Amino acid sequence: MASIEEAGSNVEEMRSSIDLGGGAQFWAYVSGQNDTPSRVTEWSVRFEQIDGNWTGEITSANPEETLKTPGLSGEFTVTVTASGPEFGPTELEPLPDSQRNIGCNDNCASFVGIVASPDATGANYWTVWDAICQR
């Protein structure tokens, strides 16, 4: 499984571009592992506040987008869909050692990573809760 350490430069880029505080923030990361960028060509990551009414979505049409909630924190449902040359639109499952949902405090940013399967016939995702936080 990929981790925040493997996300490396993407995390550092995001750290410099996110204005933390005032609401949970989210971004999506497409892993370089298993040649994911060429094997997962269209994707979307939808976030929905549990016990709330906020939703947001990041897609492959605007992959560098970050979402910021209006002062919210807590746990959010994550729905990831993807497709590629070897598989049609599919709702992805989290990797075995990752959680289906994601949590984020109002002074932090969290992210969802997408990684293609080794045989390119699918993909999975993982979540990193509170990846970057303001002190």
- pTM of the full structure: 0.87
DSSP annotation of 89: E
51, two tokens: 């016990």
78 CB neighbour count, 10 Å cutoff: 21
The pLDDT confidence band at residue 134, using thresholds 50, 70 and 90, is confident
Instruction: Say what the pLDDT of residue 4 is.
Output: 44
Q: What is the pLDDT of residues 77-108, one digit of tens each?
A: 999 999 999 999 999 999 999 999 999 999 99
- pLDDT tens profile 65-80: 999 999 999 999 999 9
Could you read off the pLDDT of 11-67 as tens digits, one per residue? Answer: 556 555 677 889 999 999 999 999 999 999 999 999 999 988 999 999 999 999 999
Alpha helix locations (H) across 18-115? Answer: 36-39
pLDDT (mean) for 124-132: 95
